[in-house]
Chain A
Amino acid sequence: MQGNDACAEGAIAAGCRFFAGYPITPSSEVAEQMARKLPKVGGTFIQMEDEIASMAAIIGGAWTGVRSMTATSGPGFSLMMENIGYAAFTETPCVIINIQRGGPSTGQPTMAAQGDMLQARFGSHGDYSVIALAPSTVQELFDLTVKGFNLADRFRVPAFLMSDEIIGHLRERVEFPDEVECIPPKPIREGMLPFEPEDDLVPGFTPFGKGHRVHVTGLTHNEKGYPASTDPDLHEKLVMRLVEKVERARHEIADYDIVNPDAEIVFISYGAPTRAVRQAFLDAPEKSYGHLNLRIVWPFPEDLLKKFKNARVFLVPEMNLGQIAREIQRHVDQPVIPIPRLGGELHIPAYLLKCAEEQE
């Protein structure tokens, strides 16, 4: 099965019943599958006039208590930034699939890239935090879509599936479980206000039509949800909480594979380049390099880096000019060497081995 189709299957399995999107290569198969499948399971598909509207529509859908999703690629992702900020600030659980392609601008519509990793974290104005997952197999595109919905609901944030054209269009064997775990957002407790956080800093969810009579606004708001945009302390407290509720869970929700933690030379990758690293390891069984594969990139699980106690150097193959390498360097004293690959094709395993050998 193709990656994009597996993503749609994962969404349906996770109980997603509302999809709004706009066609864009190389993500369109996700929308096409959702258009086919949703009516058969009592859900709704709508093709919007652009990605700004798509993002707006899924936020509207999410507030009716329906799991909602959109899918796009770079140019559409840029257009979504406005309402992604709105979703973060209003604590709206929703899932955004980004099948990344070469940028900037129209770039390489049919070729892969990972150039939107920092945009996913910082792309909308103001401070906030989000969750970003990165699949490196078609199976993971299914599994992490399901997981994305659960994390979006638990933390009430937009969750991003930062995949790419390679995984999106790859055909691999996928096993669908008979049932997937779907954990809905926790409901609001009696006597609590709609934006009053519980101990985990996340407020209970108050979907429309249940008598909560909640006011949802993109203005700075108090715990009732009412605008309070000129109160400096309130604004600071709110923004700090929205960042903190995600960031302080970064080790608890971390999802990763570690190979050879005693190694001195360690690869760190996520998404498609993980495949090149794994192939390089198969090609050179005599080498004992280490590898950290991240399935959740944001919030960045920095403590994992400490598991490589003997690491002298970290090598970071990415299909961008070192976006996550820059994040890694913030947390370690050892050198972090980006191995960028632009142009749309994956790193060649032999080249990765050569980069590692240079560090021996």
Chain B
Amino acid sequence: MSVEDWYRVDRLPHIFCAGCGNGTIINCTLEAVESLGWKIDETIFVSGIGCSSRAPGYISTDSLHTTHGRALPFATGVKMAKPNFNVVVFTGDGDLSAIGGNHFIHACRRNIDITVICMNNQIYGMTGGQGSPCTPKGALSTTTPYGMDENPFDLCELATAAGANYVARWTSYHVKELNQAITFGLQKPGLSFIEVLVQCPTNYGRRNKLRDVQSMISAMKDHALLKEKRDRLLAEGKPIPDGMFVVGTLTDRNRPALGVKQ
């Protein structure tokens, strides 16, 4: 077995735009399942609707590409009916936190034993760049032409508050750390939530002065604040610099979980 076996090669080329970060996340995930020795026929990838949700179509396992926002309840059905399957959900910020917000908090509350990987590009990419619940304040999108005036969700705080056992945030720049987080999350009983900030040069960067891929990735790298460093700043009573977001393992606990493999 090699990581290539996890790809549905007859589905290539993929539909992602040039410079999209989603492929990086798929690769990190498939390297993780391969390194754990997971079996293709015991693993199910589930997704909703959006760019991120096309991922299972390129993976060689049995896969369920469902309706908008509903990946988690579909995955819950798979996992509860057959707990011996490894179930991994790919989702996006709009899919997970807008139309699927209720399912997200309840999946975390149940702490069901699945791994949820959210490709957060802070925009509705597939439908042409509308604002999402994760679009930063002030950012331009086709539905926020004068700048986003709502507050964004912090998906990791949401997952933690709702009860997920493992919560981490990285970006498509941090491939090594991301691969480690996914590897850890896949093995962790209970719900593992991994948020990955990904660049969408086509529909986010283009409208927000981050026109090329390199500048988007640099912006993510420059604004990522390690959790350890954030904790140190807080302990020293120093302010968190503006525009920074926290990356790292944000929650790691062992609450009772649902649907754990026997």
> Which residues of A are in contact with B by a Cβ distance under 8 Å?
17-18, 20, 44, 46, 48-50, 52-54, 56-66, 68, 82-83, 86, 208-219, 226-227
- State A284–B46 Cα separation when bound (angstroms): 60
CB <8 Å contact, B61 and A213: yes
Q: A61-B78, A216-B63 are in contact. Are A208 and B70 (CB under 8 A)?
A: no
CB <8 Å contact, A44 and B65: no
A44 proximity list for chain B (CB < 8 A) = 80-81
Contact call A59/B77, Cβ cutoff below 8 A: yes
Shortest beta-carbon distance from B75 to chain A in Å: 6
Alpha-carbon distance A61/B79, docked complex (angstroms):
8
Judge if B209 is at the interface, Cβ distance under 8 Å: no
Report how far A54 CA is from B80 CA in the complex, Å. Answer: 12
Is there an interface contact between A68 and B77, defined as CB atoms closer than 8 Å?
yes
In contact, A218 and B66 (Cβ under 8 angstroms) = yes
Are A49 and B102 neighbours in the complex by a CB distance under 8 Å? yes
Other than A52-B73, A66-B82, give 4 A-B pairs with Cβ distance below 8 A: A18-B77, A53-B72, A213-B62, A215-B63
B103 touches A53 (CB 8 A): yes
Per DSSP, chain A at the interface is mixed
Residues of A within 8 A of B78 (CB): 60-61, 63-64, 208
B70 touches A56 (CB 8 A): yes
B63 touches A83 (CB 8 A): no
Interface string of B51-73 (1 = CB under 8 A from A): 00000110011111111001011
CB distance from A84 to the nearest CB of B (A): 10
> Do A215 and B56 touch across chains, with their CB atoms under 8 A apart?
yes
Where the two chains meet, the residues of B that have a C-beta atom closer than 8 Å to any C-beta of A are 8, 11, 40-42, 44, 46, 56-57, 60-67, 70, 72-82, 85, 102-103, 106
**Residue contact A46 to B76, C-beta cutoff 8 Å:** yes
Q: Which residues of B sit under 8 angstroms from A63, Cβ to Cβ?
A: 62, 64, 78
Q: Which of B63, B72, B81 is close to A61, meaning CB atoms less than 8 Å apart?
A: B81
Q: Give Cα A58 to B66, complex, Å.
A: 13
Within the complex, the shortest CB–CB distance from A57 to chain B, in Å, comes to 3
Are B75 and A60 in contact (CB-based, < 8 A)? yes
Contacts of A211 in B (CB 8 A): 41
Task: Pick the contact of A18: B40, B67, B80, B106 (CB < 8 A).
Answer: B80
A227 to B47, CA, bound (A): 14
Tell me the nearest residue of chain B to A226, going by C-beta.
B11
Contact between chains at A218 and B65 (CB < 8 Å)? yes
What's the least CB distance linking A83 to chain B, in Å? 6
Taken together as a complex, chains A and B put the C-alpha atoms of A226 and B42 apart, in Å, by 21
Nearest CB of chain B from residue A71's CB, rounded to whole Å: 15
Question: Which chain A residue shows the least CB distance to B87?
Answer: A60
